[in-house]
Amino acid sequence: MNLYLKYDTYLACRKILQEQFNKFQLSYTLKSFWEVEIKEELPRTMLDELSSSLNSYGIEVVGNHKSILIQKIKDTIIEMVYMEEKLPTSKTSSYLADKLNHRYGYISNLFSEVTYTSIENFIILQKIERVKELLITNELTIKEIAWKLNYSSVAHLSNQFKNVTGLTPSVFQRIINKRHST
């Protein structure tokens, strides 16, 4: 028997963080998507233990300024793609610059330098993952998904989806539906 699970990444991660910080008896505040303020100074050994514990869930504690900003860029993009009812209609560059309080040129260059990919490619990959999730849940039509994720047309979404996955959205959906019925 196969179980197909639908989960909210943000809520799942939030629950893991809550459990881990409670386990270590830490007073904390979730400041934003993936940013936590710990109310007290932690001894290095406890920080290492917490970091190791979070790592077992695929959550990494980020330390230096560049790494923190890269993580904030990724988190802002993920939040934009997954949390917003509809992607902002403003330019993504303006959206990121406003949210992160940095010039877009700086953000873009730093992201490319550290990750070896562009912000635009990262956004495309996140949008395609979101499209897959929405197709799997059958909550929206392809046309509604295209609107929600600010594609100029269904054809644009389909072309981008095929470039990334090798499949059209409708073929992907048929494969998923076939797996569900087996």
Domain ranges of the chain: 24-61, 124-181
Q: What is the pLDDT of residue 143?
A: 93
Chain center to CA of 18? 19
Mean pLDDT for 86-93 is 78
Q: What is the pLDDT of residue 131?
A: 94
Residue that wins the pLDDT comparison between 181 and 80: 80
3-state secondary structure of 36: strand
Mean pLDDT for 154-178 is 93
CB 50 within 8 A of CB 61: yes
Residue 151 pLDDT > 60: yes
Mean pLDDT for 123-132 is 94
Q: What is the pLDDT of residue 84?
A: 66
Dig out the tokens for 93 from the structure. 């560059």
Q: Which of 12-16, 139-143, 150-154 has the lowest mean pLDDT?
A: 12-16
Residue 145, class by beta-carbon neighbours within 10 Å (0-12 exposed, 13-18 middle, 19+ buried)?
A: buried
Please tell me which of 63-72, 89-98, 106-115 the model is most confident about, judged by mean pLDDT: 106-115
Q: Which residues of 81-104 are buried (b: 16+ CB within 10 A; e: fewer)?
A: bbeeeebeeeebeebbbebbebeb
Residue 138 pLDDT > 70: yes
Domain 124-181 is of which CATH architecture?
A: Orthogonal Bundle (1.10)
Q: What is the pLDDT of residue 1?
A: 46
Residue 109 pLDDT > 90: yes
Mean pLDDT for 73-88 is 83
Residue 63 pLDDT > 90: no
